[in-house]
Structure 1
Amino acid sequence: MNIDIKGIVIICGNYGSGKTETAVNLALKRKMDGLDVKIADLDLVNPYFRTREAKGLLEDMGIEVVLPDKRYMHADLPILTAEVAGMIQQPSELTILDAGGDDVGVTVLASLGNHLSKKKVCMLQVINPFRPFTEDVQGCIKIKEEIEISSKMKITGLVGNANLIDETTPDHIYSGYDLLKEVSAATGIKIEFITVCSYLIPQLEMGRFTCPVLEIDRKMNPPWKLF
């Protein structure tokens, strides 16, 4: 099954869910599918795992990247450039907005309400069951509701990103997918896709998944690997 996501897509989730890794790899995949792709980094809170880390790679692939003004690169304030509003007003075939983590990180979306309300928008919640607060269905739903309240928007799709970085095994992928199905059943929200690192693909029984699989190669470095 192919991932057929187009239009304006907001990627959100709790801290450590892997939303930025998902956003970057989705942008690269859809670009390779032949789409015109733009991506904006709206994460003004988290100093690590930001889309801007992959700016050179994305631009080399012909993907337009919009970053916060340098004056606000480490700010916790919802301050955006006119370029972000412009991307929303004139979106490409796929325009990805990489939002900040948790309810605090997505408050910036509320400031874009006037622009987003006039467009069809998909808002995807990335879930990693091996991170705090999303180990079970109740935790995933609580994060969803907090994000919706702060952003003043509704989650429209779910993305599974079950991983323990280098320690991830096929069983982790399977159990993460099972949890995602439970969250989908409890909320009525569609599973858009799950992510799997490329090295694990040959080890998986792909027939166990009834949703598309985004094969990813990690582009974001954990802070402990930066030195």
Structure 2
Amino acid sequence: MSMTTIERRGHAEQTGVEEHLAPRRTTVDRAIGWILTVTGVLGTAAAFTLAVEKIHLLTDPSYTPSCSINPVLSCGSVMITEQASAFGFPNPLLGLGTFPVVVTLGVLVLAGVRLPRFVWLGLQAGATFALGFVFWLMFQSMYRIGALCPYCMVVWVAVVVLFWYTTLYNLHHGHLRVPARLRGAVDLAVDVHAVGPALWLLVTVVLIAQAFWSQWQIMLA
């Protein structure tokens, strides 16, 4: 058998493998594209609404935000705290500056654009920072401020979902490198991807119920 025949057979086998993997790559890419787009849109909408409500509150201290429903679900109580301007300016401005970028990346992925590794790593860094900030805000809302902002909670969900699926995508595609012995765990996490956000949501609901148990009892009495 000549070298040319061997090379052709090797090329054919490689092409067959690529064609076999192509549908899975396309499915994964479209999934992350939709996740980026949807979470980015939700985050942008929530941040924009919070910014508008904040402006109304600044111009009219007696204004009652639309998301101030009861003593527990009260955006107004949260907006007037120092935590609502953690970096010296209203927190919603962070969302207005970052979530549209997430939407743009999601649309590019859905359009079939192959984003370079540094873009995915940049998104990973941003999502990780956002997750840490969200966890801090959750703690402050439940155990320091004693009130919850419904629009903020939409941002919480968007950030957690964004972080989780961005991480899985980067691990799956090798943008985040892991030892070979952990590849099985990564593949399992990808296969049962919904478990992570579901567990976070369950734990969050339990923590909220526990933190505001006395208020819930009074309101439901």
TM range (shorter): under 0.3
Higher-strand-fraction structure: 1
Higher-helix-fraction structure: 2
